Amino acid sequence: MCWSATADLVAGAGIAGVGATCAARARRVSELPLAALPLLLGVHQLVEAWVWHVGGGTGPATVVWTVIALPLLAVWVPIAVVCADPGPVRARSAVPLASGVATAAVLSYAVATRPVRAEIRGHTVGYVLGLTHAGVLVAGYLLATVGALLLAGDRWLRGLGLLAGVGALVCWTLWRLEFLSTWCAFAAVCSLVVFGWVVRPEPAYSR
């Protein structure tokens, strides 16, 4: 999320460009899901630019934004980490992956059965879905996404996980205050870290 339609549009285009470059430079097919993560984040920003443009509401752009943000990312990140990590350390991602699958299933059901509404709140956009047991879902989501990265065997990915954890806290705090949405800046920094991981001289794994 960015603070305006223009900011979302510019940030989304830039992040998507980084993502396309990452995907093109991936060394192996198994690295593609993680290398393409910035591309997904860029598309996410572009979708929200349209949400801003139409003034929020319950239209298709709001639903697409929610699907990407909630169930898709919850399962995409741990799967990408499992694919990118070497065999000996993949077992570490079993719990985050299971958490991601379970969380994505619950969130998918919620999106399919409940209306989701976007609300323009000053320099932020709020998305209302009316989830029950939201605290449990947030914990499962963070375990699946941030947890999978922190448990990865590659030092770049663990660094990305640390950045994701700290960045998510800062972005959430500013968003809750309805002061300014900084998700686009956070996504841009994460995308540059993914680019660094893609072009690294050689994998830096630890067991």
pLDDT digits (tens, 9 = 90+) for 120-131: 987 788 899 988
| Within a domain: 207 | no
Query: What's the pLDDT tens digit per position in 50-59?
Result: 999 999 999 9
Q: Is the pTM of this model over 0.75?
A: yes
Q: Into how many domains does the chain fold?
A: 1
| Within a domain: 110 | yes
Q: Is the pLDDT of residue 135 over 90?
A: no
| Within a domain: 205 | no
Q: Which domain holds residue 156?
A: 5-198
- Please tell me the predicted confidence (pLDDT) of residue 174: 60
Query: What's the pLDDT tens digit per position in 140-167?
Result: 999 999 999 999 988 889 999 998 888 7
| Within a domain: 59 | yes
Give the residue, 109 or 134, on which the prediction is more confident: 109
| Within a domain: 206 | no
- Please tell me the predicted confidence (pLDDT) of residue 178: 47
Q: What is the share, in percent, of the chain residues with pLDDT greater than 70?
A: 88
- Please tell me the predicted confidence (pLDDT) of residue 198: 93
Q: What is the mean pLDDT of residues 11-22?
A: 95
Contact, 118 vs 62, CB < 8 A? yes
Query: What's the pLDDT tens digit per position in 79-100?
Result: 999 998 876 666 788 899 999 9
| Within a domain: 203 | no
| Within a domain: 192 | yes
